[in-house]
């Protein structure tokens, strides 16, 4: 679907309302640490591009998130290139597309990284705790944890979508940007 333009200032509330858990977690880690390692920056950065955050807003967003620990000068020298790279303004000028669930699920997660699908990487107890913190109905939490344990990661994600939006998600979840688009559709209806 054609996307509306999203600004850096809108990211926090959009994250809360409509990001799938993988992107929520990377964003929380970024915000808490004022830093995010390479793969997380790439995955979250491409996702944000996919929801309609233009390059200038992306630079504003990342610079502000890094600001507690990184000066503007250092950001411009060490990180701005990566942000532009996601928008294909640097390097080979490939148009990088956001990662699908399958790609995220099948990519090994370096230890201590916020990268990856939480339905894969979190223990059942950690997952239950996170989902409870989102104030999801307890049936949803139980259902999602059971599906994650059974390695039905995308079904776990779909159960969370349904619990969060109080609706049925017929299409299933196959892409973090699709999760976001479906969420905006339901919430703006």
- Contacts to ligand SF4 by CB under 6 A: 20-22, 101, 104-105, 117-119, 153-154, 157, 173, 176, 179
Q: Encoding tokens for residue 129?
A: 């705790």
Q: What is the dihedral of CA 124, 128, 130, 131, to 10 degrees?
A: 130
What is the closest distance, in whole angstroms, from the C-beta atom of residue 60 to ligand SF4 in the complex? Answer: 25
For ligand SF4, the closer of residues 71 and 123 by Cβ is 123
Q: What's the CA gap between 116 and 56, in Å, rounded?
A: 26
- Per the document, the length of the chain is 189
What is the nearest approach in angstroms of ligand SF4 to the Cβ of residue 69? 26
CA angle 108, 110, 113 (to 5 degrees): 120
Distance CA 33, CA 35 (A): 5
Q: Which is nearer to ligand SF4, 75 or 119 (CB)?
A: 119
Dist. CA 156–CA 154, nearest whole Å: 5
* Residue with Cβ nearer ligand SF4 (7 or 107): 107
Residue 40 vs 176, nearer CB to ligand SF4: 176
- Which is nearer to ligand SF4, 83 or 120 (by Cβ)? 120
Least distance to ligand SF4 from the beta carbon of 155, Å? 9
> What is the closest distance, in whole angstroms, from the C-beta atom of residue 120 to ligand SF4 in the complex?
7
Q: Token pair 């230890």 is at which residue?
A: 111
CB of 101 vs ligand SF4, minimal distance in Å: 3
């Amino acid at each position: 679907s054609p996307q509306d333009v999203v600004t850096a200032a809108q990211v926090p509330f959009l994250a809360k309302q409509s990001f799938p858990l993988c992107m929520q977690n990377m964003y929380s880690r970024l915000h808490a640490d004022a830093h995010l390692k390479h793969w997380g920056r790439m995955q979250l950065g491409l996702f944000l591009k996919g929801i309609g955050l233009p390059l200038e807003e992306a630079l504003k967003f990342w610079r502000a998130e890094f600001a507690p620990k990184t000066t503007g000068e250092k950001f411009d020298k060490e990180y701005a290139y990566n942000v532009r790279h996601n928008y294909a303004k640097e390097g080979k000028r490939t148009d990088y597309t956001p990662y699908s669930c399958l790609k995220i699920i099948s990519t090994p997660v370096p230890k201590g990284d916020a990268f990856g699908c939480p339905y894969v990487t979190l223990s059942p107890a950690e997952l239950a705790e996170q989902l409870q913190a989102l104030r999801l109905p307890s049936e949803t939490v139980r259902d999602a944890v059971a599906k994650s344990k059974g390695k039905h990661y995308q079904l776990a994600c779909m159960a969370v979508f349904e619990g969060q939006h109080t609706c049925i998600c017929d299409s299933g979840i196959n892409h973090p940007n699709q999760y976001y688009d479906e969420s905006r559709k339901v919430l703006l209806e």
